Structure 1
Amino acid sequence: MIPIKVVGAGHKTEPRSPASSALQYLQPGALNLAALPPLSLYIHFPWCVRKCPYCDFNSHEARGEFPEQEYLDAVRLDLEQSLPLIWGRKVYTVFIGGGTPSLMSAKGLDQLLSMVRTLLPLEIDAEITMEANPGTFEAEKFKSYRASGVNRLSIGIQSFNADHLKALGRIHDDGEAMRAVEIAQANFDNFNLDLMYALPSQTLAQAEKDLATALSFAPPHLSLYHLTMEPNTVFAKFPPALPDDDASADMQDMIAETTAAAGFEHYEVSAYAQRGRRGRHNMNYWEFGDYLGIGAGAHSKISFPHRILRQARFKQPESYIKAAQAGNPVQEEHEISRADMGFEFMLNTLRLTEGFSPNLFGERTGMGINAIDAPLNAAEAKGLIYRDHTIIRPTELGQRFLNDLQQMFLGA
């Protein structure tokens, strides 16, 4: 999930009386969405065995036992309190992320998904993804996860090289990484392997071997991430020796050629899929769809006919549990302004290598595409995007300088 900074405070629900709804039409700068986008559900599990030195996600080391039941009770309260925001809307995908959700007991996961089905109208063939780390793989537990309704795993392999796993601070070794994929294959017909490249002291040959090992398992989906030094991480404070820009570029070229030769579609900056196996949950993010995020530190984006709301939950598990028990787990909330809408939309959709239809901008923002004409013209003039009446997409140059391209839409 792409974290987005949220500002503001308080908790609001969409007005339900005819009078208050009518007032929305009088608000200056109100949006006009003809239809609401697809809705996904994100559930955050905040604990992990050990915090990795490169990780900037909301994860907390589980020192001894963690309060699983108390947390699940808080998640239920959170979901119940959020229902007025999404009345009548069907949920098409569910993603359980972390942290390390596979630390959850089989009983706890079953309870969680039973709660989701009880409280929400879930699409009959909904994609239900769970993140899992190799150090937590137990065959029987994962059979139970599958029986409870998880139909897609996203496995945080990162590397099949023992030395690189040690440098990344992972709790598993290369043998456990291989065994995790084998267990996934035996129980799931849909899974994703997360790999990283440009690792400390990694050579092109080693990156190539990692990818070849991953492909040997014929995964339906691959996520291939360039290691970056994120603020407020151990690696940011004590940076390791990383491959230089030329070596990293060689690895990117190798990945593009190797995955294409293996029949994978490179459909998003870091995502590669066999035909028909794209990640539906993340596609909804990248197409500026809606998502309700519950759990510690989770983010939401919820559309209404005349406004789009962003929320963030309390990050610390203890604070989140207490806030949910008190009736308001939302720490920060604000509406996306018209001035920020173009940037927020393009921040996501420009990650798609095939681009998007200009009509999607109007459908998801309630604004005309002419609202971002100036930066579109500037980006086209610099050769960063291609556009016609059917498509807007980043060029190969635009993909290489994606951050610069996205920044052009700030304040558009």
Structure 2
Amino acid sequence: MKLTIPPPLSLYIHIPWCVRKCPYCDFNSHQIRNDFSENDYVAALLADLEQDLPRVWGRTVHSIFIGGGTPSVLSPEAIDTLLSGVRSRLPIIANAEITLEANPGTVDSVRFQEFYEIGINRLSLGIQSFNESTLQRLGRIHGHIEAIRAIELAIQAGFNNFNLDLMFGLPIQTVDMALEDLHTALTFNPSHLSWYQLTIEPNTLFYKHPPLLPDDDLIWEIQKAGQQYLAEQNYFQYEISAYAKSGHQCQHNLNYWKFGDYLGIGAGAHAKITDVAQGTTTRYHKQRHPDIYLQSANNPITSCTILTAEDIALEFMMNALRLFEGFTTQEFTESTSLNLECIEKPLQKAYAQGWLISNLEHLKNAQEKSLQEIQRIKTTDNGMRFLNDVLELFVP
């Protein structure tokens, strides 16, 4: 089977600077310097976008995500120039979701108001915790008061669609402490919550000097208690670490998880682009270090790889199995142009382990649609807990 139409297209924009690098962060982020020029970086982003345009001629952007780093270190004027430049180069659907990540330590009422007025319609606030001592252990530049104040200012500025980032499994954290963070967050009625486990990654300060974290059993207890509490408050879990009110899933991230296409501009950004005419899916990576990126914005690509059928199948599964709804066989075929038979062996192993489940047996008598269209495969609770082991089965 050959794809006839390309998947939905999103745009990711990376801002690599932070006021201070957090000890747990392994993202491409750098402490901002005194000689930093936001105008130069915005100009480089637009030059980067220019050289990407031939790859997506005629296609429309469905969502924009400005991430980092800490994008809110840029002024509203710089973000306005950036978005205006994007709009003049790419068609964007009406009412497209445009998200900006913000750190509570880098915002004020005027800044939030101006972000809202220039077209940012979704904020993602990096709270991580409301516990003062925990925030200090995490090396955050904000405290409890700043976290509360940032949320209040966002609401006052007009943002009714916002995400709060929180972590669990934090140093010396208990179940009660984790639930208190969630309770505090939900008093502000956010439309979306990202609640994810702190993991110790290589090339971080925490990797060199590990903090004392809860053991695996306690982390699992925290996770189950938090999931139950959020469900009781009508926040449904649709992905491993994503919870939303009905109708408020993050459209940009959903496009990733449903194997959509995306442009990526900025230092260290990467992209996945499908060429229907050529029948190829290609992944691109941009220069990682900001200084080198600024010098090469007219040609910032460091690598481009045409994905093999095995790569495509693995990447589809790595994304789709994160979603609690899983995927249908039709979605797999339409997104990858592959037949399900190519992953049948690992699927059977995952079924046998109780990690995946299919509704095929319940569809034997279905008449209104073919089984190919409505068969759904999804991860079980145990599969979600051991997702890395599940995905290992699909590695070529």
- TM-score, L = length of structure 1: 0.91
Q: How far apart are the structure 2 equivalents of 1:322 and 1:368?
A: 44
Q: How far apart are the structure 2 equivalents of 1:352 and 1:343?
A: 15
Structure 1 residues 312-391: aligned runs within 5 Å: 312-324=285-297, 327-387=298-358, 388=360, 389=371, 390-391=375-376
Pair 1:219 & 2:190 matched: yes
Q: How far apart are the structure 2 equivalents of 1:205 and 1:338?
A: 46
Q: CA deviation at 1:304?
A: 1.1
Verify the 8 A CA contact 1:43 1:293 in the aligned structure 2.
yes
Structure 1 residues 2-401: aligned runs within 5 Å: 32-187=2-157, 188-305=159-276, 306-324=279-297, 327-387=298-358, 388=360, 389=371, 390-401=375-386
Q: Percent same amino acid among aligned pairs? A: 51
Aligned AA (1:333): C
Q: Which runs of 4+ in 1 moved over 2 A?
A: none
SS in 1 for 2:327: coil
Q: CA deviation at 1:339?
A: 2.0
Structure 2 stretches lacking a partner, 5+ long:
361-370
User: Hey, what does 2:387 align to over in structure 1?
Assistant: 402
User: Hey, what does 1:11 align to over in structure 2?
Assistant: none
Q: How far apart are the structure 2 equivalents of 1:66 and 1:260?
A: 44
Verify the 8 A CA contact 1:78 1:295 in the aligned structure 2.
yes
Q: CA deviation at 1:32?
A: 2.0
Aligned AA (2:98): I
Q: How far apart are the structure 2 equivalents of 1:76 and 1:328?
A: 12
Q: CA deviation at 1:65?
A: 4.5
Aligned AA (1:321): L
Aligned AA (1:200): P
Q: How far apart are the structure 2 equivalents of 1:130 and 1:406?
A: 31
Q: How far apart are the structure 1 equivalents of 2:103 and 2:11?
A: 21
State the Cα deviation string for residues 106-133 of structure 1 (Å, max 9, x = none): 1101101101111000001100000000
Structure 1 stretches lacking a partner, 5+ long:
1-30
Verify the 8 A CA contact 1:314 1:320 in the aligned structure 2.
yes
Verify the 8 A CA contact 1:47 1:59 in the aligned structure 2.
yes
Q: How far apart are the structure 2 equivalents of 1:192 and 1:65?
A: 32
SS in 2 for 1:53: coil
- TM-score, L = length of structure 2: 0.94
State the Cα deviation string for residues 88-122 of structure 1 (Å, max 9, x = none): 00000000000000000111011011011110000
Verify the 8 A CA contact 1:342 1:410 in the aligned structure 2.
no
SS in 2 for 1:96: strand
State the Cα deviation string for residues 320-340 of structure 1 (Å, max 9, x = none): 01111xx31111111111122
State the Cα deviation string for residues 155-179 of structure 1 (Å, max 9, x = none): 0000000100000000000000000
User: Hey, what does 1:9 align to over in structure 2?
Assistant: none
Q: How far apart are the structure 2 equivalents of 1:202 and 1:230?
A: 19
Verify the 8 A CA contact 1:35 1:363 in the aligned structure 2.
no
Q: CA deviation at 1:67?
A: 1.5
Q: How far apart are the structure 2 equivalents of 1:348 and 1:179?
A: 35
Q: How far apart are the structure 2 equivalents of 1:406 and 1:107?
A: 43
Aligned AA (1:42): Y
